[in-house]
Structures are given as C-alpha cells and as structure tokens.
Amino acid sequence: MSIKAYYSETIASFLTDDPDRILGTLTRENRHSLEEPQRWAWQRQIPILKEALSGVPTGHIFLEFFIPRMGKRVDVLLVLGDIVFVIEFKVGASEYQLAAFRQVEDYALDLKNFHEGSHAVPIVPILVATDAESRTVDEPKFADDLVAKTLGSNAEGLGALIGVVCDSSSFPRFDLADWMAKGYRPTPTIVEAAEVLYRTHSVTDISRSDAGAKNLQQTSAAVSDVIDRARQSGTKSICFVTGVPGSGKTLAGLNIATRRSEEHDDEHAVFLSGNGPLVDVLREALARDKAKRESVTKELAKREVRSFIQNIHHFRDEYVGNADVPVEKVVVFDEAQRAWTRDKAAYFMQRERGQTDFDMSEPEFLIGVMDRHQDWCTVVCLVGGGQEINTGEAGISEWISALEAHFSSWNVYVSPRIVLPEYGSQIDVEKFLALPRVHLNEQLHLAVSMRSFRAEALSDLVGQIIDNDSDAARATFTKIEHDYPIYLTRDLSAARAWLRRRARGTERFGLVASSGAQRLRPEGLHIKAAIDPVNWFLNDSGDVRSSYYLEEVASEFAVQGLELDWAGVCWDGDFHYALGKWVYQNFKGTKWQTVKDEAKRLYLKNAYRVILTRARQGMILFVPKGDAADRTRPPFIYDGTYEYLRACGIPVLD
C-alpha cells in the first residue's frame, strides 16, 4: 500500500497554487462530514505554509497525510532534500501542550516503523502552536533510529525552524519517487485494531501484507470460505485458527465477526472471549472512541459495544438448562484452548449455577448449543500455542474429543500445525486429522508474531529460553538484538529508568510478573494486589493507576491477549533455574513448595511464556538479588536464573 494524502504537490507547485483551489481539493478528498473548525484550520494553515516555504527551492508537500495504523492523518508532511518533516498544527493554540508534542511524535514513529521507505530516512516532527510565543530555534537531536526530538514553533517561526534543520543536518539523499511508492505495513495494537475494525469493518489498512508475515486477510478469507460453504450447503462446520503468541489471532477473529456482521446481518456473527481483562479493555476502548467520535454518552456507547464483544461465559450461561436456539449463526471463540475441562465445568456449574446434572466439558456444551440449529452454523475457534495458564483449561483435546464422540456430522477445518506439542493435545490428533470430514488448510495457521513487529523471531527465543535450550536462544537473540533490545538487570530502579528512557510519544510501558511471584513483595511489587486492566492499559501517564507509573505489576491473567510497547519482566523463585534445569515452585503460607503435578508445571511455564511475549518493541528482565537473611528469598534461586539468562545471550544493563 503506497502512501496517501488529500493533497500532494511539489513545493514549487504549492507556492503558485491558488489557496481556494487547495482548500477545494482538501474539501473534495475529505470523506467525512466537514465541520467548520476543520475548514477554518485549513484556511489558516495554507498561508502559514506558503510563507514558511517561500524560500525553499525544491521538495514535496503532502497535506492530510494518512497514517493507516492509527486511522488518522498528519496535517503536513514535507520532504525537503534528505529529510522528512512531520508537522502537526494546533491552530489558535497559545501554548505548547505536552499531549500535542506526544501526538506528533507518535506520527513520526509510526512513519519510521511501518513505512518501508522511511526505515533509514531522518524524520523531524514539529508541533506548530500558531499563536504561542516564539521558541529558541534549536538544531535537531536525532535518536539512533533517526527520529529527531520533537521541535516546537509558532506560525511566524516555522520557516526559520525548517531552515535551521536543513542547514544543520546532512544525510544521504533518497529517491522521492521510490519513497512514495514504498508500502505501508502497519502493525496495530489490539486496541487500535479493534477501534479501526469497529469504525470501518475492514482490516485492509491496519494489517501487514509482506511476504514474511502471514496475511491476516488470507486467514480471514479462508475462514469466510468455510462459513460460505456451510451456509450454501446447509451443514455445520467448525474451524480452528492456530497461531504463535502475538500472531494476530484475536485480530483475525474480530475481523471475521465484523465483516460477516456487515455483509450478512442475518448471521448475527459474534466475537466471544473468556478472557475477562481483554473483554473489559476492548469494550472500554471502543466505548471511549465511539463516545468521542459521535458525541454520545459513554453509557450509550457501552450498550452498543456489548453486542460486538461478549464474554463467553455469559453466552454459555444463557443456554444452560433450556433448549433455546441461539440467534447467532457464526460464533468466534477467542482463546479456545482455555475452555474448561469436564471436571472444572461441572464443578463450577454445580457450585455457582446450581446445575447439579451438568456433566460435560465447556467445548462439548458450546458446540452442542450451536448444534441446536436445524440448518447450518459455523464455530470458529482461535487457538494459541502454549497459552493454557490456569487449572482446568482444556487445550485442544476437549474440542476434538467432543467432535469425535458427539458431533460426527460436523465438518472440521484445521491447520496441520495442530499436531505440534505446544497445542497441548493429550489425544491422538493425527488419527483425528485422517478422518474424511477433516479438511487441512495451512492458511488457518498464523506462524509469525505481529505483536513484536521488530522481532518476528521473539516467540522462538522465548520458547528456547523456557525449554532450557540456551545455545539455541543465544543464536536466535543475535538475530534480533539490534531491532528488539532485551536487557538484564538486578536493580528494579534501573529497570524502571530504562523503560521510561526507551519509550517515546505515547508508547506504553509497564511491569509484568507471574501470578506466583509472591516473593517480589520485598521489592515493592505485590502481585496479589490485582490491577484494574482498563485503567492500567488505557489511561494516560498522568493517572497513577496506569501502567506508566510502574507501581502496579500485572500478572499473566491480566495481560494475556493484550500488549505493551516496552515491558519490565520481573522474575521470581516460582520458576527458577538451578543445576541445569528449571525448578517449579508454589509459595504457600510461609514457604516455597515444589510443584510436582505436570499440568500445574505446564501452567507455570506458560505463565512465563505469556509475560515474556507481551512487549512489541523490547523488554528488560529484572532478577532480584535475594536476601541471605530471608529464607524465602535465598540468593541462589535468583543467581541461577540470572546466570542462565546471561548464558542465553541477554546482555546486562550497564
């Protein structure tokens, strides 16, 4: 996808172009209702730019430059010789607001990270507060990635500032036509993706399309094909979409649900998740966005959003003890590997819902609910590898067992990758895959992490670390360390400082730890004090409840399915390295106890897999020093982990 803008001309053409014609072009290209403040802002910007660029001999100007990942537009983008300027106007502003500085810096970082032509190009973000006092004209300070610290100017000083930047900087020239033709490959956060999908019902402008990453559109198309076949033939189908952590399974599911609802409203497609924090965060984000865009109350927005994203347990409870047929023809179950086993489901339903005769697994019950349809339906299961983190989570086994024992008429569509060990099947999956009604499709697997857009091999590295393969981990880390920094420290204050120093704009950072990390409390990290995921993930840096404050630490239960830009992973003795292997422990009462149960060991291992794959851009690992005077924190249980991580190639923070 090449770059887009409402207005695109050479500087020379812009300077001679009639202001009314420029305004007409902007108005014509605007696809939304044009409000008077926007027209007024354009009328002010055009003469300011003409004056500022009057002495510029060559270059190119873009007005209302589209930023796909954010679904927003930059006011002005200039290409002058060897530098790209990203300019955001605050027309009528009499002071320089911190939020505005962060906004334009976010635009510059998006351009740097996701536009192919800008990876090696210097970018200078500028905030223009038109009516503010003049500022000292400083030379730009470029970071290692060639994105300069954001500069500020009023209307009169913009030309002088651009001149100083051009005169003080010298970089290799780049070909403008080639730069303009390069693709934009955005990788959205799940919150950003959900907001764009909810507004536009399209994943086109927020998904990557490079050959090195699985195309979400292809996966969505493969699932839609399954749904179309079931609809046309009047049959019932179940489709399993597998993928590595951060590969976009949830995004694919949201895309499927929104597109089917938009194109086939009689299907009543719905996205269901048993991940409470994810549901709460996405609902709140969509409601805030909708309320702001449409000027409605947040309560009204919340009511509408609830029909788009639902809690799977509420859906389940609606059909317990009755024979009602659901209105939904298409249901997308997120994190299907976390559905409950027969024992846990029966125990919960008997104790909490009074259903003494409930005796089936959650997968069996959910498929059974959809099987009540007399004609057709489709179930889409999104399955993560190595993501079971709680007692009673079934993995893929219960779904397959239910299909074998009770639903022999259902067609099954699945990737051949389902046989891999990380999907945790306890039964003979290959025997099941050989059945005539099972259809294999490689496009139903998302193999590359999109969360860590800088390091697609991150999931491999994390797997190697927790699988006790330091040699492989060291080799993998050498491939990603330039693009995805990871450091090791024994000083929590240093870890916090590193996170604050690394993040720019509104990039989110926070501390995460295993839910079993109870002896981090002497470090000031109380894992048992649960965070409020909505406040932690969505509120800004001025809110003490947000992740930015680095006071509250989030467990794997709070962060699974969500993400940070930069993470501080805090390691405790529940999963520590000693005598050449990982040791599994659970803190009970006043002491550590060895975990012998294999299922509980798997949950603990997966807890660290989850927290180690939350960061999109980089992370720092904090391993305490322990305390010889505290028998619950002997230094050796931390020293072993620290030395093992060093053996994996992770450098120590200076």
Each residue of 299-335: pLDDT tens digit? 888 887 877 788 888 888 889 889 999 999 999 998 8
Residue 213 has pLDDT above 50, yes or no: no
* Residue at 549 is within a domain: yes
Q: 264 and 237 in one domain?
A: yes
Q: 348 and 392 in one domain?
A: yes
Q: Which domain holds residue 397?
A: 215-276+309-446
* Residue at 186 is within a domain: no
* Residue 446 confidence (pLDDT): 83
Instruction: State the Cα–Cα distance between residues 203 and 351, nearest whole angstrom.
Output: 42
Q: 470 and 422 in one domain?
A: no
Kindly state the tokens that stand for 128: 């223009």
* Residue at 284 is within a domain: no
Which SS3 state, helix, strand or coil, does residue 614 take? coil
Give pLDDT tens digits for 466-508: 999 999 999 999 999 998 999 999 999 999 999 999 999 989 9
Q: Three-state SS across 52-104?
A: HCCCCCCCEEEEEEEECCCCEEEEEEEEECCEEEEEEEECCCCCCCHHHHHHH
* Residue at 135 is within a domain: yes
* Residue 194 confidence (pLDDT): 76
Residue 285 has pLDDT above 80, yes or no: yes
Residue 251 has pLDDT above 90, yes or no: no
* Residue 136 confidence (pLDDT): 85
Q: 406 and 325 in one domain?
A: yes
The whole-number average pLDDT for the span 414-421 is 84
Q: 479 and 364 in one domain?
A: no
Residues of the chain above pLDDT 90, percent? 59
Give pLDDT tens digits for 11-44: 999 999 999 999 999 998 886 666 788 889 999 9
The whole-number average pLDDT for the span 547-566 is 94
Q: 258 and 152 in one domain?
A: no
Q: 121 and 258 in one domain?
A: no
Strand partners, 243: 384, 446
* Residue at 462 is within a domain: yes
Q: 463 and 441 in one domain?
A: no
Residue 417 has pLDDT above 90, yes or no: no
* Residue 192 confidence (pLDDT): 78
* Residue at 301 is within a domain: no
Q: 439 and 463 in one domain?
A: no
Instruction: State the Cα–Cα distance between residues 517 and 576, nearest whole angstrom.
Output: 11
* Residue at 451 is within a domain: no
The C-alpha angle with vertex 261 and arms to 220 and 214, in degrees rounded to 5, equals 10
Q: In which band, very low, low, confident or very high, does the pLDDT at 388 lie, cut at 50, 70 and 90?
A: low
Give pLDDT tens digits for 140-154: 999 989 999 999 999
* Residue 248 confidence (pLDDT): 76
Going by C-alpha positions, the residue among 392, 426, 429 that lies closest to residue 414 is 429
Report how many domains make up the chain: 3
Strand partners, 62: 8, 77
The whole-number average pLDDT for the span 176-187 is 81
The whole-number average pLDDT for the span 40-61 is 92
Which SS3 state, helix, strand or coil, does residue 303 take? helix
Instruction: State the Cα–Cα distance between residues 190 and 93, nearest whole angstrom.
Output: 32
The whole-number average pLDDT for the span 168-182 is 88
Instruction: State the Cα–Cα distance between residues 520 and 537, nearest whole angstrom.
Output: 22
Q: In which band, very low, low, confident or very high, does the pLDDT at 206 lie, cut at 50, 70 and 90?
A: very low
Residue 46 has pLDDT above 60, yes or no: yes
Q: 75 and 222 in one domain?
A: no
Amino acid at 80: L
Give pLDDT tens digits for 560-616: 888 999 999 999 999 999 999 999 999 999 999 999 999 899 889 999 999 999 999
Rounded to 10 degrees, what is the CA torsion of 413, 416, 420, 422? -40
Strand partners, 568: 511, 620
Instruction: State the Cα–Cα distance between residues 251 and 257, nearest whole angstrom.
Output: 10
CA distances from 193 to 23, 183, 204, 593, 650 (A): 31, 19, 11, 42, 32
* Residue 212 confidence (pLDDT): 35
* Residue 450 confidence (pLDDT): 61
Give pLDDT tens digits for 97-130: 999 999 999 999 989 988 888 999 999 999 999 9
* Residue at 10 is within a domain: yes
- How many residues are present in the chain? 654
pTM (two decimals): 0.81
For residue 52, the number of C-alpha atoms closer than 13 Å in the C-beta half-sphere is: 25
Q: 631 and 542 in one domain?
A: yes
Instruction: State the Cα–Cα distance between residues 372 and 320, nearest whole angstrom.
Output: 13
Instruction: State the Cα–Cα distance between residues 633 and 587, nearest whole angstrom.
Output: 11
Which SS3 state, helix, strand or coil, does residue 331 take? strand
Q: 397 and 252 in one domain?
A: yes
Owner of token pair 């002010």: 44
Q: In which band, very low, low, confident or very high, does the pLDDT at 555 lie, cut at 50, 70 and 90?
A: very high
The whole-number average pLDDT for the span 365-369 is 95
Residue 596: which CATH number?
A: 3.40.50
